[in-house]
Amino acid sequence: MENLTIWAGWAGGIGVGLVVALLYWTTGKGLGVSAAYGEVCGLAGSDFFKRGTFAGPRWRLFFALGLPIGGAIAVLTSGISWAPTWDMGTLYPAVLPDSTWIRGGVLAAGGALIGIGARMAGGCQSGHAITGMALLNPPSVLAGGLFFVGGIVSVQTLFGLFS
Amino acid sequence: MTNAPAPQAAKITGRTLPPIAFLPFGALFGFVLSRAGATTYDYYAGLFLFSHLQLLWVIAAGAATGAVFIAIMKRMKTKAVLTGDSIDFTGKPFTKELVPGALVLGVGWGLAGACPGTVLTMLGEGKLNALFTIGGIVVGTWLYGVVKNASQGKAPSAGDSHAPAA
């Protein structure tokens, strides 16, 4: 994945902001992803996620299903061939266990915290930190700041202990 | 941007978009996330180690760009092009779970080196480790539902006695 085309951060950010604006302008919807996981849980039989905003229409689920398509297109337009990989770059592999399954356990634990935290906070990085901050919505600005605090705590701890 | 949607909007006001219409928007977002470096594990570690701030610029420029266009759409009272409805720019509310939830999400963000959206994009790029994180997010979301369902199961019965008969 070293040859994946990556724009300068500010340019990528402008792209992200334009997609947020485009979604509002065309569909009237605020961009967010984590609620799609709630819709999946509702479809899989979770009583809680069969109610309210998660009951449908499940536009968030279809938005989320588009994401991997975009990822595949991004690879194919980078001039590299698409191939499955366990590659995680250079930094995380230096502190995570080499075993695929133990490493996977750490990533799954991180995912579980993301899932719980996103529902408690009412959104994730896309809904709070990008869309919410673009709305200048105070609770979202707070949430975005606290996401960073949590991330700094876990990564500094991980790299402090194991590198 | 102002005049073009208006006559069209009058005709199709209240139209509901089929959920599948959001698939290409998701694909576009995934493509941009990838180009922004938001699917690259090293940038997550670099962000929280303060050694490479690519993703800080992405979030800052993303929020700023969104803010500019949202301000324009608010001022022009722009209607959503595909539905003709006025756009609801109401933000998410503050809740008492927001602060602990955002911290918990942040810890997971650092551990997994991904977000709910970027991890799905990573899978599309062929990054198989995304599967573990996606599985974890589904489990965490499910657990939240189980806990909320249990606590809400008690709460409405207490409230029901005060509620007028239906």
Query: Could you report the predicted ipTM of this complex, rounded to two decimals?
Result: 0.97
Distance CA B68, CA B158 (A): 46
DSSP H/E element including A30: none
- Test the A interface: residue of B144, B146, B152, B154 with most A CBs within 10 Å: B144
Q: Do A138 and A161 lie in a common domain?
A: yes
Mean pLDDT of B25-44: 98
Question: Which among B127, B51, B129, B114 is positioned nearest to A163, based on CA atoms?
Answer: B51
Three-class HEC string of chain B: CCCCHHHHHHHHCCCCCCHHHHHHHHHHHHHHHHHCCCCCHHHHHHHHCCCCCHHHHHHHHHHHHHHHHHHHHHHCCCECCCCCCECCCCCCCCCCCHHHHHHHHHHHHHHHCCCHHHHHHHHHHCECCHHHHHHHHHHHHHHHHHHHHHHHHHHHHHHHCCCCCC
Q: Nearest residue of B to residue A145 by CA position?
A: B102
At residue B157, the pLDDT reads 43
Smallest Cβ–Cβ distance between B126 and the set A70, A75, A152 belongs to: A75
At residue B10, the pLDDT reads 43
Q: Do A95 and A159 lie in a common domain?
A: yes
Instruction: Give the number of domains in chain A.
Output: 2
Q: Decide: helix, strand or coil at residue A9.
A: helix
CB contact under 8 A, A115 and B137: yes
Instruction: State pLDDT tens for residues B119-152.
Output: 999 999 999 999 999 999 999 999 999 999 998 8
Task: Decide if pLDDT at B164 tops 90.
Answer: no
Residues 41-60 of B with CB under 8 A from A: 41-42, 44-49, 53-60
On the question of a cis peptide bond just before residue A57, with omega within 30 degrees of 0, the verdict is: yes
Residue at a domain's end among A28, A53, A85: A85
Mean pLDDT, chain B, integer = 88
At residue B155, the pLDDT reads 53
Residue at a domain's end among A65, A85, A105: A85
Q: Nearest residue of A to residue B63 by CA position?
A: A134
At residue B163, the pLDDT reads 38
Q: Do A28 and A78 lie in a common domain?
A: yes
Q: Do A100 and A81 lie in a common domain?
A: no
- Test the B interface: residue of A33, A39, A67 with most B CBs within 10 Å: A67
Smallest Cβ–Cβ distance between A9 and the set B25, B37, B124 belongs to: B37
For residue B154, what pLDDT band results from cuts at 50, 70 and 90?
A: low
Interface check A28 vs B, CB under 8 A: yes
Q: Do A6 and A75 lie in a common domain?
A: yes
CB contact under 8 A, B142 and A105: no
Residue at a domain's end among A57, A85, A113: A85
What tokens appear for B96 in the block? 């008492």
Q: Which residues in chain A are contacts of B27 at CB distance < 8 A?
A: 66-67, 69-70, 73
With pLDDT > 90 as the criterion, what percentage of chain A qualifies?
94
Q: Do A114 and A67 lie in a common domain?
A: no
Q: Do A101 and A27 lie in a common domain?
A: no
Q: Do A101 and A75 lie in a common domain?
A: no
Q: Do A92 and A68 lie in a common domain?
A: no
CB contact under 8 A, B82 and A26: yes
Q: Do A80 and A157 lie in a common domain?
A: no
Mean pLDDT of A89-110: 96
At residue B53, the pLDDT reads 97
CB contact under 8 A, B125 and A59: no
Distance CA B150, CA B143 (A): 11
Q: Do A150 and A101 lie in a common domain?
A: yes
For residue B95, what pLDDT band results from cuts at 50, 70 and 90?
A: very high
Instruction: State pLDDT tens for residues A129-149.
Output: 999 999 999 999 999 999 999
Q: Do A111 and A74 lie in a common domain?
A: no
Range of the domain at A75: 1-85
Q: Nearest residue of A to residue B147 by CA position?
A: A48
